[in-house]
Amino acid sequence: MEFYLKGFLIACRGIPATVIVSLVAIVMGAAIGLLLALCSQVKSRILRAIAKVYVDIVRGTPMLVQALIMAYGIPQLVQSWGIDFKWTDYGGMAIPAVIVCGLNSAAYMSEVIRSGIQAIDKGQMEAARSLGMSHGMAMRLVIIPQAVRIILPAFANEFVTLIKETSVLGYVGVVEILRHGQLWNSSSYQTFPAYIGVAIAYMILTIPLSKLINGYERKMARKEAAA
């Protein structure tokens, strides 16, 4: 039993790293995702193509591969141009990790946001425009606030997914939950307790979040039924 507790406590040391990377990444993902979603709605074919290619690339490749490219591939490429570049000079290996997670979740968030915007009745945009609002103002004041309520559950689900996905970041030098467990395993050989501890540490983060989403969805469903 003692080993299980120890394994769990060791894994918990990774919680701050996992949470910080996930939080920064989800904020970055939401901001870039919104930008991509807006790009996919405009008349300009070039912007629409850029958004589409970006989403296809990110969704079509494993995040571990993206992380390896960002953390190790890009520094070597830049160094080959004769520029001295190491991530450790720019804040450490957490930086490429956060960037990859943020860019990755942006692709998924853009789809979520796009479908949220499309779910709003087009009469809302017409009513806003007929008051003299520009397209941008109508988006900001009328469409996006309504879309946010629709996409909130999907947004939180994406956060849960992202927390679990950060487990690949041990491969690019971030000592998060899984990496702490792996390191303890390789010194103590307590393999089962180590990874059970890791699993429980992730669940502490993800299960309350999932419960929160379910509660919100039930509340919204009740509100719909009442209206």
- Confirm or reject binding of residue 124 to another protein (CB under 8 A): yes
Query: What residue spans of the chain are helical by DSSP H?
Result: 2-12, 15-39, 45-60, 63-68, 74-80, 94-118, 122-130, 135-138, 144-165, 177-188, 191-226
Contact 180, 169 (CB under 8 A): no
**DSSP character for 42?**
S
Q: Which stretch binds another protein (CB under 8 A): 40-48, 52-60, 138-146, 213-221?
A: 138-146
- Confirm or reject binding of residue 46 to another protein (CB under 8 A): no
Contact 68, 100 (CB under 8 A): no
Q: Which of 56, 61, 65, 149 binds another protein (CB under 8 A)?
A: 149
Contact 105, 162 (CB under 8 A): yes
Beta carbon of residue 112, minimum distance to another protein (angstroms, whole number): 19
Q: Which stretch binds another protein (CB under 8 A): 13-21, 106-114, 135-143, 200-208?
A: 135-143
Beta carbon of residue 132, minimum distance to another protein (angstroms, whole number): 3
- Confirm or reject binding of residue 217 to another protein (CB under 8 A): no
Contact 151, 220 (CB under 8 A): no
| Residue in the structure block whose two tokens are 């992380």 | 67
Q: Report residue 5 as tokens.
A: 């507790």
- Confirm or reject binding of residue 141 to another protein (CB under 8 A): yes
Q: Which of 65, 137, 204, 221 binds another protein (CB under 8 A)?
A: 137
Cβ proximity to another protein, 82 vs 123, nearer residue: 123
Sign of CA dihedral 22, 28, 34, 35: negative
Total residues contacting another protein by CB under 8 A comes to 19
Cβ proximity to another protein, 120 vs 196, nearer residue: 120
Beta carbon of residue 21, minimum distance to another protein (angstroms, whole number): 33
Cβ proximity to another protein, 121 vs 217, nearer residue: 121
Q: How many CB atoms lie within 10 A of CB 20?
A: 14
82 to 121, contacts with another protein by CB under 8 A? 121
CA-to-CA distance for 220 and 227, rounded, in angstroms?
A: 11
Beta carbon of residue 153, minimum distance to another protein (angstroms, whole number): 17
Q: Under the rule (CB under 8 A), what is the footprint of another protein?
A: 121, 123-124, 126-134, 137, 141-142, 145-146, 149, 227
